[in-house]
A and B are shown apart, each in its own frame.
Chain A
């Protein structure tokens, strides 16, 4: 008995050694291009330029896995035909662990050459000086024109006058609404100039607590809060970013409005009532009539069993909408900055890449030319895709400080206290102001 197990184990180990050695065979070397110049001129001709040395770049991404790895491969193939000497090695990690891994790679000295960043993390990486200034190499590149990018996106990744990343994609947050529920309650559809009072009034007619149907979903948490604060004309930080203005009356009012959706107006489910089911899933099963969420949900809602559409998100004193953008940056100490630039430029601005993105619903390229979005606008649902671009007019970026993670958690915890009824909005924001001011030091 024992010897049988032993030989089985030994066999497994031997097999695994074979498999391992298979995996570690070096990949076939990229063929070095040979430049042949057949010049039949008698006079001395300049020597042909040496063939560019083959280079392998690592590109680290969170948005490609798992659904778009094949799309990324196709884009790399197009790039490779234009740049045969540059090989792109893709590394991926799940969003939740992406930055943990990126930090560890950088700390361990094995940083990827090019990597994706979202806006908040971009700011902290930029501040630490680990991103390459693309200004000089962009200037030297005659074919590059920054004007092809959507200006707000391009500007977002400019830090202290240095262009530290090129915008890769953008998303906005809009108001999704369930037309069937609106029709049933006889309520007019939301328009682009609604305020939150309009929304709450409509939500009250749409809410049927017994049936578990709620009129509205716009959660009280950090990202929604800074947006509502902006809608109310308040900002977290003063102009010079030195003072925290979280407890100004407009901010307090914004927080109260948000919490009241659940507490006073009772048009939104509590966290306990949602109990782990996401708002997207509740919207799709007809339990939420109006959901404030991002355009990335179009694919998920596509086969919802009812008609739905979108509108620009309601405002308070003014409109303000979320602007999420991802950038692609080059590691400051990358050994191949020139080649990295070629990849970054291609990946963010190539018309082929843009078209592939739109077709495969892999986020929207941050390019200005509306022609790229013609196909996108034609797809339904939703019918009112124009609202996606209208939202851009009111787009704001989140307040970012160096100690971003701690600020988000601190504010989040205090908002939780308000939701639980343990603190008033004023108390919570007074405390938040104190804590965030301490973080600014």
Chain B
């Protein structure tokens, strides 16, 4: 059974009609429910504990055995964070940097992935291997030369300096290339016959089909930038440009760590990411992937 037999121009498979997405009936369904609920709890309990610790007063933070419900419940940690840091500014910086990074990745990586996946050219595989290779060197060692490069470009302690290295990651190109490779050629061939240029095919046909992968990349690149620590640590010296992970790291003092503050900081850091994920995950779910021209 090949794709051409079925017709690549399939109509959108509605979520409800998709038989693989119908769970089994009877006991199978309950087992699945049980498994999912159990594993979901395992994933979420540590986060709940983070929230719980962030609401504890200093002296109750590290009682042994650990106390789940804070008594008394206090917002002290959050107030203290606001007093110690320009939290609003730091948050905004992180938001700005992560958004630009994600946007930059979506654009440049989708274009490169289109070239690798949909265009045949000599040296394509070799060049792609080079892309992959850049993921294989630990960043801790390339970060010092990168710092020097950035200094020559004059972008130390600037927003471009913070954003640009994160935009050009081979990870995004790799992800999108794999996805784009799975799209049948027939869809484009029709368009080319009609005289469309590569840019039209890219923007009108390929990109819409790649929504799940683009959404995935958006989440990953936003997350990578949002949680980035080492590079912002080096490149930023102005408190006005500080991002969340760097600012919150100073809560780990040389001798003492105030865990309730650290957890409050972590909660502030995690929540926006969850919002981004929930917003993007609609695109993972849409059954409409292969909506093509019927005929």
Q: Which of A16-24, A47-55, A314-322, A386-394 contacts B (4 or more CB under 8 A)?
A: A16-24
Cβ of A13 to closest chain B Cβ, rounded Å:
6
A193 within 8 A of B: no
Contact of A280 among B99, B158, B234, B256 (CB under 8 A): B256
Binds B, one of A62-70, A78-86, A216-224, A366-374: A62-70
The residue of chain A having its C-beta at the shortest distance from the C-beta of B254 within the complex is A95
CB-CB nearest in chain A for B282? A1
List the B side residues contacting A296 at CB < 8 Å. Answer: 255-256
Q: Does A285 contact B (CB under 8 A)?
A: yes
Q: What is the bound-complex CA distance between A97 and B158, given in angstroms? A: 21
B71 to chain A: closest CB distance in Å? Answer: 16
Does residue A242 face the partner (Cβ distance < 8 Å to B)? no
How far, in angstroms, from A228 to B141 measured CA to CA in the complex? Answer: 37
Residues of B within 8 A of A277 (CB): 62, 64
A252 to B237 alpha-carbon distance, docked (Å): 46
Count the B residues whose beta carbon is within 8 Å of the partner chain — how many? 36
Out of B62, B99, B159, name the residue touching A281 (CB < 8 Å): B62
User: Looking at chain A, what size class is its interface with the partner chain?
Assistant: 35 or more
A91 near B: Cβ within 8 Å? yes
A107 touches B147 (CB 8 A): yes
- Can you name 26 A-B residue pairings with CB atoms under 8 Å? A13-B103, A16-B96, A16-B99, A20-B159, A23-B240, A63-B254, A69-B84, A89-B237, A92-B239, A92-B250, A93-B233, A93-B249, A93-B250, A95-B252, A95-B253, A96-B252, A97-B249, A101-B234, A104-B143, A104-B147, A280-B256, A281-B62, A285-B64, A296-B256, A297-B256, A300-B256
Q: Is A439 an interface residue (CB 8 A)?
A: no
- A107 touching B250, Cβ below 8 Å: no
- B residues near A, CB below 8 A? 58-59, 62-64, 84-85, 92, 95-96, 99-100, 103, 143-144, 147-148, 151, 156, 158-159, 233-234, 237-241, 249-256
Extra A-B contacts (4), CB below 8 Å, given A13-B99, A13-B100: A63-B254, A67-B84, A93-B249, A108-B147
A104: chain B residues at CB < 8 Å are 143-144, 147, 234
The answer to whether the Cβ of A209 comes within 8 Å of any Cβ in the partner chain is no
What are the 3 tightest A-B residue pairs by CB atom distance, in nearest-first order? A95-B254, A65-B250, A16-B96
Q: Which of B58, B59, B85, B254 is the most central at the interface, judged by chain A CB atoms within 10 Å of its CB?
A: B254
Q: Which residues of chain A are within 8 angstroms of B253 by Cβ–Cβ distance?
A: 67, 94-95
Q: Which of B99, B100, B148 contacts A107 (CB 8 A)?
A: B148
Q: How far is the CA of A278 from the CA of B61 in the complex (A)?
A: 12
Once bound together, how far apart are the Cα atoms of A58 and B157, in whole Å?
A: 13
Is the CB of A160 closer than 8 A to any CB of chain B?
no
In whole angstroms, what is the CA distance A107 to B151 when docked? 11
Does A303 belong to the interface (CB within 8 Å)? Answer: yes
